[in-house]
Structure 1
Amino acid sequence: MTSAARAPRSLVWAGAVVFVVALGLVLLMVVRPSAASPSSGGTTGVSAGAPAESSADVGFARDMSVHHQQAVEMAFIVRDRTDDEDVRRLAYDIINTQANQRGMMLGWLDAWGVPKSSEGPRMAWMGHPATATDGALMPGMATDSQLDRLRAAESRAAEVLFLRLMTVHHRAGADMARVAAASASTDEIRGLAAGMARAQTSEIALMADMLKARGAKP
């Protein structure tokens, strides 16, 4: 495979900065214990008093875990469809950061004693339940048809399609994160969501520059 024109060196540094910020957030959330009440059994890393099943905390953790899972899947796909160093570096950043964040959210759900999934509509905690379309369970998620196109693409075509799909994915994810940061009751979700919104907004700008470098529009 031949790779597309390399992005400017500044994009590489920008990608590195985004990764460092995201990694720092993950480490902070992992090692920073929240105060635990005696009734909570002394559990660390979880705020005293588990949030309700219908809370924004639980809804966000469930939905964003699914959202992140697809982002990781798309990143793995493009990693194997191109030899472009900048795109592969971005893919690795997304895989590492979002897989770690997903693990944290699933761990909190377990610690809160609530199921990791629900039969109820997704995004109901945001006030506007989502409707699945062609495999896309929530806004911003790629459809089954789009994923099939990504799997079939190579080199520049795979890079451009991935960057476009991930831009849409990040925009919706950042919107969800901003709502959770403002409405969640636990320090864990508020802090993680706020960091997600900042990091994904930075990556959206990075991907716009990468698309421009390839002569493509977002």
Structure 2
Amino acid sequence: MATALQDPPVEERTGPAEASRSPRALRYLTLALAALLLLGVGWTAATLVAGRAPGENSPEAGFARDMSRHHAQAVEMAMVAYANGQDPAIRQIGYDMALTQQGQIGQMQRWLQEWNLLPTGSRPAMEWMPDGITVDNNGLMPGMATREQITQLHEAQGAEVDRIFIELMIKHHIGGVHMADGVLKASDRPEVARMAEAMKLSQQKEINELRKLQQASS
């Protein structure tokens, strides 16, 4: 699958300013994200186990719904970093992150379809978490940025894009890892466990990379 995706911009051919702001490059990423979402719908049918599907109020359903929303914000921020970031490393991280998390959204939405559940439910966000942690005073799940912070990222330029993205995404990923840990405690479904473990691995790796870039720029 990876070979079908457009490679990220190459500095030697375009230069950092042109590569980071190329509408054509951003269009390629948008198309790739759409393709991954469609492919994700087909990936998980073979992974579902036999037996009773998770119910409306199950931790699996809560995780799939809440993490899809959580991931959607990460994809939005990652696309801004890919399009407008100054550091090539930040643009690469944004590119990889957007593709990975959009694919995972597709898989989680497929679960809900297979379980005959709607993409959204009636229960409050994070109510499924075993440790009782819910949303904050802004109604946001752990690590999520406010709309004001997202707007600030969209409006930033140059190195300020990199700085804001690193700061917001480290916090966002820490919250995502916490949610993955929560469903690993609450669910015994193999496909959910595999997804949660993959999320933890990739997000912790990106946290470490972002912290190194943050230290290097300080």
The answer to whether TM tops 0.5 is: yes
Provide structure 1 residue ranges, at least 5 long, that are not aligned to the other structure. Answer: 4-25, 34-43
Alignment of 1:87-126 (within 5 A): 87-126=90-129
Q: Is the 2:82–2:94 contact (alpha carbons within 8 Å) kept by the matching residues of 1?
A: yes
Work out the CA distance in 2 between the residues paired with 1:79 and 1:201: 20
Instruction: List 4+ stretches of structure 1 deviating above 4 A.
Output: none
Report the AA paired with residue 143 of structure 2. G
What is the CA-CA distance between 1:146 and the residue it aligns to?
0.5
Please say if 1:151 is aligned against 2:164: no
Work out the CA distance in 2 between the residues paired with 1:110 and 1:82: 36
Residue from 193, 212, 215 that aligns with 1:212: 215
Residue from 16, 23, 30 that aligns with 2:43: 30
Please say if 1:165 is aligned against 2:178: no
- Alignment size in residue pairs: 181
- Per the alignment, do residues 131 and 175 of structure 1 end up closer, same or farther by CA in structure 2, a change over 3 Å counting? closer
Residue from 191, 196, 204 that aligns with 1:188: 191
* RMSD, aligned α-carbons: 2.4
What is the CA-CA distance between 1:54 and the residue it aligns to?
1.5
Work out the CA distance in 2 between the residues paired with 1:86 and 1:133: 34
Aligned to 1:9: none
Q: Secondary structure at the match of 2:128?
A: helix
Work out the CA distance in 2 between the residues paired with 1:45 and 1:152: 41
Report the AA paired with residue 125 of structure 1. W
Residue from 39, 62, 66 that aligns with 2:65: 62
- Per the alignment, do residues 52 and 119 of structure 1 end up closer, same or farther by CA in structure 2, a change over 3 Å counting? closer
Work out the CA distance in 1 between the residues paired with 2:66 and 2:143: 12
What is the CA-CA distance between 1:201 and the residue it aligns to?
1.1
- 1:151-189 CA-to-partner distances (Å, cap 9, x unmatched) read 111111110110110000000100110121232131110
Specify which structure has the bigger relative contact order, considering alpha-carbon pairs within 8 angstroms and separated by 6 or more residues.
1
Work out the CA distance in 2 between the residues paired with 1:194 and 1:181: 8
Please say if 1:131 is aligned against 2:144: no
What is the CA-CA distance between 1:119 and the residue it aligns to?
2.6
Q: Secondary structure at the match of 1:151?
A: helix
| TM norm structure 1 | 0.76
Aligned to 2:85: 82
- 1:100-148 CA-to-partner distances (Å, cap 9, x unmatched) read 00000000110010111013210101042633644x6311000011011
Work out the CA distance in 2 between the residues paired with 1:82 and 1:129: 33
| TM norm structure 2 | 0.76
- Per the alignment, do residues 157 and 184 of structure 1 end up closer, same or farther by CA in structure 2, a change over 3 Å counting? same
Q: Is the 1:167–1:204 contact (alpha carbons within 8 Å) kept by the matching residues of 2?
A: yes
Work out the CA distance in 2 between the residues paired with 1:78 and 1:133: 27
Q: Is the 1:53–1:114 contact (alpha carbons within 8 Å) kept by the matching residues of 2?
A: yes
Report the AA paired with residue 82 of structure 1. G
Provide structure 2 residue ranges, at least 5 long, that are not aligned to the other structure. Answer: 1-14, 18-38
Q: Is the 2:65–2:119 contact (alpha carbons within 8 Å) kept by the matching residues of 1?
A: yes
